[in-house]
Amino acid sequence: MSNLFWLTDEQMERLKPFFPKSHGKPRVDDRRVLSGIIFINRNGLRWCDAPREYGPPKTLYNRWKRWGDMGVFAR
């Protein structure tokens, strides 16, 4: 897929306060994961069909589920 979606530096800076702090092992790049989640939702894809540039599909799904349960997307 050639038209991948990437959040800008400015967008990530504005979103940073809404995400939970990382404790312990550093997380996979939030920009990559969040961009992948948005791409999946915009295009109606299954997690397993996520372009590899966004990282492992399981990481995308787990982060979407965790952040959703925490209300991150509702803010």
Range of the domain at 56: 30-75
Q: What is the pLDDT of residue 23?
A: 78
pLDDT digits (tens, 9 = 90+) for 16-27: 888 878 777 777
Per the structure, the count of domains in the chain is 1
Do the domain assignments include residue 6? no
Q: What is the pLDDT of residue 18?
A: 83
Do the domain assignments include residue 1? no
List of the chain residues with pLDDT < 70: 1-2
Do the domain assignments include residue 57? yes
Q: What is the pLDDT of residue 69?
A: 93
Q: Among residues 34, 39, 41, which one has the least CA distance to residue 59?
A: 34
The pTM for the full model equals 0.86
